Amino acid sequence: MIEKTINFSRRSFVGKTATAAAGISIAPGVFLHQVANAKPADQAATSEVRWGMLINTNKCATGCTACVSACNEENGIQSNDRPESDPQWIRKVKLRDTQTGHVTSLPMMCQHCENPPCVDVCPTGASMKREDGIVLVDKHICIGCRYCMMACPYKARSFVHETITDQKDYAPRGKGTVESCTMCVHRVDDGGTPACVEACNAAEHGAMIFGDLKDPQSEISKELEKHGGKQIRADLRLNTGVRYQGI
Amino acid sequence: MGYLSLLAFLGAFVLAALGSTYYMEHNGHWVTGMNNQIVWGMPHVFAVFLIVAASGALNVASISSVFNQKIYKPLAPLSTLLALALLIGGLMILVLDLGRPDRLIVAMTKYNFKSIFAWNMILYNGFFVIVGVYAWFMLDRTMKKYSRYAGFAAFIWRLALTTGTGSIFGFLVARPGYDMAMMAPMFIIMSFSFGLAIYLLVLMASYNWTNRPLGDVVVNRLRKLLGVFVAAVLYFVIVYHLTNLYATEHHGFEAFMLLGDSGGSKYSSIFWIGQILLGSLIPLAMIYAPGVANCRKTLATACVLIIIGGLAQMYTIIIGGQAYPMEIFPGMEVLESTFADGVTTIYSASLPEILLGLGGMAMSMIVVALGIKVLSFLPQSLADDVADPHYKAE
């Protein structure tokens, strides 16, 4: 009787260990990576990581707006059919090099600068940069002065011109305040990736990589080391968190 | 026009401004001409003009206290009243155009000290206190002996204030129309000109309406000073554009502003006709033409033109500077964008925006009218023999 019980426990122990070992060896990248990145809600963002994005414009398909739709869906951004005043956190831009004629398509959004002009000019401190490099607007103390929109070299910010309905509880917004790409901070804090990156991968373009720029082993760091990446308006020396290849 | 009907007339504009604010805040800013490309519109044109003019209206007091010019002493209290009144009007517009004007208390309690805008809020509040104390010292016989010190403090403070206002634009590195340290001194000299033009109009109107004597000695001194200021503004505008014309990267902006290229014809017209011709050259001719030296109507017209030119200048700086497409992708031509990249924005001010701006101006005039009525800001007489004891009629 006693022997049987012991045997059962031992068998169960061996079985669970084997399953765990298999899990670790089969999917280390997925399983361990997510646990390492997930930030408990009561813990502040840390400067040990710097979240960034790398966009390969050669893979970015002209006419594809999967990233834009995903962003709008994720963050509850609705169009009122007034493009001049509708908020746009991410937009697709098609460019032609005036010298070579080379045509490029790329998504443009908040570049999450290390030295963000929007944070410098904000009178109340509503525009702020987290320790992990994500630039946000505190909707509680934004007075809607729009000085950050004057200062942003990327036109990345939108002023909420109209009443908002059906907000997402994880992405609070407010009429009369300024907003921009949050790098899907609610997902990132849960160990996830931004909605635009996910959508780009789902559309099988794979033009966007999200990750920790400070971790030399991350996919984004390895790709940047191997093939490089440019900052838009690098002359302003803002050290952007979003980098581009192929421009 | 009676005093009460003047107040009622001005009050109607203030009410219209409040109604406009309610309309804009209730519906959201999409009902204005502003959008995500032109984020500062007509209200800012009026607001910045009044804030700049406020500092300049203090000129006359500064000349009397800091530079100890006796003839200006009786003119000084009105100068402080006008300075406070113009700042109240300007700030009223600025606050009511915020996305969240109800959060004024946040703006007053939370400061990011790296922001020149936050510094401006401190400078505005300090201006009220310092100029208020200065006015009190001048009007209170027992405190009059200290008024020179208060005047000196106010003089330094107003220079700091307008440096701050100009730097709001000067510190914007991303836009080719701004990003120049010269914005600060240019705004200071603009304040001298706009402030004195408004001062002269208020002085002549209030003496006329209250039937007090105002002699040519005082008026002609101020007239000649105004001419110097208008010419100085013109000089700064020329240097500003020459600096931009020298740098190849700014040629596009200059072609836009001066020649009307890339859809900038509205701004180049406002620049050449409004700012340069009506606001600078014609007033200079009216001020210095020998035949009209003592003509009050000519001088008043020149002052009105300087104010119109000043508003035109603010329009080209504030709206023109935003309408010109920001160069996000140097060396690239934008073929497609949903967010108006590479495109000149077309802006036309909506009626509520204009009413809000006019309401701020009316508010300033109400403060002046009340101040003159209640306190002795105006000397009983500024006749020539009173203003200048050595005056001899020819």
**Chain-centre distance of CA A95, in angstroms?**
23
Residues B212 and B304: beta-carbon distance below 8 Å: no
Query: Any idea which residue has 């609610």 for tokens?
Result: A186
* Interchain pair A121, B25: CB under 8 A: no
In a domain, B340, yes or no: no
Q: Which residues of A touch B114 (CB under 8 A)?
A: 120
Asked if the Cβ–Cβ distance from A92 to B118 is below 8 Å, we say no
Which chain A residues are closer than 8 Å to B332 by Cβ? 95-98, 104, 247
At B291 the pLDDT is 83
Q: Which of B120, B322, B335 sits opposite A96 (nearest CB)?
A: B335
- Residue A36 CA to residue A190 CA, distance in Å, equals 10
Contact by Cβ (8 Å): B79, B386: no
Across the interface, whether the CB atoms of A123 and B99 are under 8 A apart is answered no
Asked whether the beta carbons of residue B173 and residue A123 sit closer than 8 angstroms, the reply is no
In DSSP notation, B78-89 reads HHHHHHHHHHHH
Structural Rg of chain B based on CA atoms? 21
Q: What is the mean pLDDT of each run of 10 residues along chain B (394 residues)?
A: 90 98 96 96 98 95 86 90 98 97 93 95 96 94 90 95 96 91 96 97 90 88 95 97 93 95 94 97 95 90 98 97 94 92 93 98 96 84 74 59
DSSP A53: E
- Shortest Cα distance from A38 to chain B (angstroms)? 31
Domain total of chain B = 1
Task: Classify A228 as helix, strand or coil.
Answer: coil
Contact list in B for residue A242 (CB cut-off 8 A) is: none
Q: What is the pLDDT of residues A135-191, one digit of tens each?
A: 999 999 999 999 999 999 999 999 999 999 989 999 999 999 999 999 999 999 999
> Given an 8 Å threshold on Cβ–Cβ distance, is B103 in contact with A143?
yes
The reply to whether B91 falls in a domain is: yes
B114 Cα to chain A: minimum distance (Å): 6
Note the residue count of chain B: 394
The residue among B236, B231, B202 whose CA lies nearest residue B219 is: B202
B313 in any annotated domain = yes
Is residue B334, in this structure, part of any structural domain at all? no
Cβ contact, residue pair B98, A151, below 8 Å: no
Q: Determine, yes or no, domain membership for B331.
A: no
Residues of A in contact with B115 (CB under 8 A): 120-123, 147
Which residue, among A82, A90, A95, would best test binding to B if mutated, counting the most B CBs under 10 Å from its CB? A95
Name the phi and psi angles at A242, rounded to 5: -105, 125
Chain A residues inside the 8 Å CB shell of B336: 92-94
CB atoms within 10 A of CB A96: 16
Residue B69, Cβ neighbours under 10 Å: how many? 15
Q: How far apart are CA B91 and CA B72, in angstroms?
A: 28
CA-CA-CA-CA torsion sign (B110, B115, B116, B117): negative
Phi/psi at B334 (5° precision): -85, 120
Task: Answer with the residue of higher pLDDT: B142 or A20.
Answer: B142
CB contact under 8 A, A84 and B117: no
Q: List phi, psi (to 5°) of A165.
A: -125, 165
Mean pLDDT of chain A: 88
> Which chain A residues contact residue B37 at CB under 8 A?
84, 155
Check whether A3 has a pLDDT greater than 50.
Answer: no
Q: What is the CATH number of the domain that holds B159?
A: 1.20.1630.10
CB-nearest partner of B99 from A80, A117, A177:
A177
Helix residue spans in chain A (DSSP H): 2-26, 28-37, 66-75, 117-121, 147-151, 185-188, 195-202, 219-227
Compute the nearest-CA separation of B338 from chain A (Å): 7
- Determine the pLDDT at residue A80: 92
Give the span between the Cα atoms of B136 and B380, in whole angstroms.
Answer: 18
Q: Which residue of B has its CA nearest to A109?
A: B339
The pLDDT value recorded for residue B253 is 95
Q: What residues contact B309, with CB distance under 8 A and at least 6 apart? A: B274, B275, B276, B278, B279, B280, B283
Nearest to A118 by CA among A54, A110, A72, A88: A110
pLDDT of res. B391: 65
Q: In what order do the strands lie in the sheet with B332-337?
A: A103-109, A90-97, B332-337
Looking at beta carbons, which residues of chain A come within 8 Å of B322?
A: 150
Instruction: Decide if B185 is inside a domain.
Output: yes
DSSP label at residue B345: P
Strand partners, A179: A158
Amino acid A53 reads: M
Query: Can you tell me whether residue A106 is helix, strand or coil?
Result: strand
Residue B31 Cα, gap to closest chain A Cα (Å)? 8
State the Cα–Cα distance between residues B307 and B54, nearest whole angstrom: 13
Identify the burial level of B247 via C-beta atoms within 10 angstroms of its C-beta, where 0-12 means exposed, 13-18 middle and 19 or more buried. exposed
A94 pLDDT above the threshold of 50? yes
Nearest chain B Cα distance for residue A82, angstroms: 9
Residue among B35, B107, B341 minimizing CB distance to A84: B35
Query: Are B98 and A176 a contacting pair at CB < 8 A?
Result: yes
Give how far B62 is from chain A: nearest CA, Å.
30
Euclidean distance between CA atoms B124 and B111, whole angstroms: 14
pLDDT of residue B32: 96
Residues B28, A162: C-beta atoms closer than 8 Å: yes
Chain B CB contacts of A234 under 8 Å are none
B387 inside domain: no
CB A148 within 8 A of CB A110: no
Q: What pLDDT, on the 0 to 100 scale, is given for residue A203?
A: 95
Model confidence over A24-83: pLDDT tens digits?
Answer: 555 444 444 444 456 777 788 899 999 999 999 999 999 999 999 999 999 999 999 999
Gap between the Cα atoms of B287 and B43, Å rounded: 30
B30: containing domain? 3-325+352-374
Give pLDDT tens digits for B200-244: 999 999 888 888 888 888 899 999 999 999 999 999 999 999 999
Domain contains B347: no
For chain A, what's the residue count? 247
Chain B residues close to A233, C-beta within 8 Å: 174, 328, 330
In B, minimum Cα distance to A178 occurs at: B99
- Using alpha carbons only, what angle is made at residue B294 by residues B289 and B300, rounded to the nearest 5 degrees? 80
Taking the C-alpha atoms of residue B281 and residue B302, their distance in angstroms, rounded to an integer, is: 10
CB-CB contact of B96 with B23 (8 Å): no
pLDDT of residue B1: 63
pLDDT at A1: 40
Q: Round to whole Å and give the CA distance between B94 and B73.
A: 32
pLDDT value at residue A17: 57
Q: Are the beta carbons of A93 and B114 separated by less than 8 Å?
A: no
ipTM: 0.92
Nearest CB to A91 within list B112, B174, B338 = B338
Chain A closest-CA separation from residue B353 CA (Å):
15
